[in-house]
Amino acid sequence: MADVQGTCDAKFEAVREAFQANFDKGLDLGASVAVAVDGQLVVDLWGGLADEAGRPWEKDTITNVWSTTKTMAVLSVLLLVDRGDVDLEAPVARYWPEFAAAGKDGVLVRHILSHTSGLAGWDEPLQPADLGDFERLSSLLAAQAPWWTPGDGSGYHGYSHGFLIGELVRRVTGQTLAEFFRRELAEPLGADFQIVASETDYDRISPVTPPPPPTEAHAGFEDPNSVAVRALTNPPMGGDAANTEWWRCAEIGAAGGHGNARSVAMVQRLLSAGGEVDGRRFLSRKTCEAVFPLQADNVDRVIGVHTKWGIGFALRSPGLPLPVNDSTYYWGGWGGSFVTNDLGSGMTVAYVMNRMQNAIVGDERGVPLFEAAERSLAGTA
Angle separating helix axes 160-173 and 69-82, nearest 10 degrees: 30
Whether 75 and 273 have beta carbons less than 8 Å apart is answered as: no
Q: Give the CA count within 13 Å in the CB-facing half-sphere of 143.
A: 9
pLDDT in tens, the chain (381 residues): 678 999 999 999 999 999 999 999 999 999 999 999 999 999 999 999 999 999 999 999 999 999 999 999 999 999 999 999 999 999 999 999 999 999 999 999 999 999 999 999 999 999 999 999 999 999 999 999 999 999 999 999 999 999 999 999 999 999 999 999 999 999 999 999 999 999 999 999 999 999 987 665 565 567 888 999 999 999 999 999 999 999 999 999 999 999 999 999 999 999 999 999 999 999 999 999 999 999 999 999 999 999 999 999 999 999 998 888 999 999 999 999 999 999 999 999 999 999 999 877 768 899 999 999 999 999 997
AA letter at 258: H
Of the candidates 104, 75, 39, the residue with the CA atom closest to the CA atom of residue 311: 75
For the chain, the farthest-separated pair of C-alpha atoms sits apart, in whole angstroms, at 57
Q: Which domains does the chain have, with CATH numbers?
A: 56-360 (3.40.710.10)
Q: Shortest CA distance to 332 belongs to which of 228, 269, 255? A: 255
Q: Burial of 133 by CB count in 10 Å (0-12 exposed, 13-18 middle, 19+ buried)?
A: middle
Residue 185 phi, psi dihedral angles, 5° rounding? -130, -60
Cβ 196 vs Cβ 289: under 8 Å? no
Q: How far apart are CA 104 and CA 83, in angstroms?
A: 25
Residue 344's pLDDT is: 96
Residue 203 backbone phi and psi in degrees, to 5: -70, -10
257 with 193: CB under 8 angstroms? yes
